[in-house]
Structures are given as structure tokens and as C-alpha cells.
């Protein structure tokens, strides 16, 4: 999408069970530079192919969360706040989004009794203030 986008409706994406515009070239799923590299902490080789792994810390130990904190935080950057453009264009970014927002699943928001525009405070197990 970042190289031109879609130029027809999504309903034309499939022709029966197959995609309408099939990829006609070799698609490499193995990345040799990754597959021949070792993890800096554990010294284990990386896979080199996409794979699912449960969340783990830098030393390879599983990460678990207390039931007292039922929500998980995922961070990301807005499209205008990424890479090297961030600091040089701060004023424009501030104009686009002058405050931070919490994006929350509608089911979780309803369970917590929150509606759009409510002010919330996020705390984590490591918070000591």
C-alpha cells in the first residue's frame, strides 16, 4: 500500500478461492542475514523464517502478567511521528495531535464503563508514584 495503494474495490480481490492478482515472482520467506545471526543475550541462532513465539523477555524467559492488570499495552507511532522526521517537525505534529490518546477495544471500554473523551490514568505494576 505504501507504493501506490489499491486501485480497485476490495470485492475484486478474489476470483473464486484464489487472489485475482497473484504474486508472479519468487517470494523468499527465509532471510539469510537473520538466520545466520545469533541473539546477543542468549547466543541462540535466529530462525530466519517467520514464526510465532510467545512473548518473552530479552533473556528468553516467558513474560507473564498479573491478573490484577488485565490490559496489555501496545505502542506505536502515528504516521507523522516516525523515523528521522520526528524531532524536526515537532510543531506540526503537535498541531495534528496536541494530546495523547488511549485507543481501547470497544468491549474493554464498555466493561470499564468508559466512553469516548473520558480522561483516564494508566498504571503498571512497576509504577511507584
**For the ranges 53-57, 69-73, 88-92, the one whose mean pLDDT is highest:** 53-57
Question: If you average pLDDT over residues 44-48, what whole number do you get?
Answer: 91
Spatial separation of the C-alpha atoms in residues 23 and 55, rounded to whole Å: 32
What's the rounded Cα separation, in Å, for the pair 123 and 115?
Answer: 19
Percent of the chain predicted with pLDDT > 90: 22
**C-alpha to C-alpha distance for 125 and 129, rounded to whole angstroms:** 11
How far from each other are the two terminal CA atoms of the chain, in whole angstroms?
43
The whole-number pLDDT of residue 34 equals 93
Whether 5 shows a pLDDT value over 80: the answer reads no
pLDDT of residue 6: 62
All residues at 6 or more sequence positions from 78 whose CB lies less than 8 Å from its CB, including other chains: 93, 96, 97
Neighbours of 48 (CB within 10 A): 15
Q: pLDDT tens for residues 13-25?
A: 888 998 888 878 8
Look-up: residue for cell 506505536?
76
Tell me the β-bridge partners of 14: 19
Mean pLDDT of 22-45: 88
When the pLDDT of each residue in the chain is averaged and rounded to a whole number, the result is 81
- The CA–CA distances, whole Å, from 49 to 34, 38, 112 equal 8, 14, 39
pLDDT at 1: 46
Amino acid at each position: 500500500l505504501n507504493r501506490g495503494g489499491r486501485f480497485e474495490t476490495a470485492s475484486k480481490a478474489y476470483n473464486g478461492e484464489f487472489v485475482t492478482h497473484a504474486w508472479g515472482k519468487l517470494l523468499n520467506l527465509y532471510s539469510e542475514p537473520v538466520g545466520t545471526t545469533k541473539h546477543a543475550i542468549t547466543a541462540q541462532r535466529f530462525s530466519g523464517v517467520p514464526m510465532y513465539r510467545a512473548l518473552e523477555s530479552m533473556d528468553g524467559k516467558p513474560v507473564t502478567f498479573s491478573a490484577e492488570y488485565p490490559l496489555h499495552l501496545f505502542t506505536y507511532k502515528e504516521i507523522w511521528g516516525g523515523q528521522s522526521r520526528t524531532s524536526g517537525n515537532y510543531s506540526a505534529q503537535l498541531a495534528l495531535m496536541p494530546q495523547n490518546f488511549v485507543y481501547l477495544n470497544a468491549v474493554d471500554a464498555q466493561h470499564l464503563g468508559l466512553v469516548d473523551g473520558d480522561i483516564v490514568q494508566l498504571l503498571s505494576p512497576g509504577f511507584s508514584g
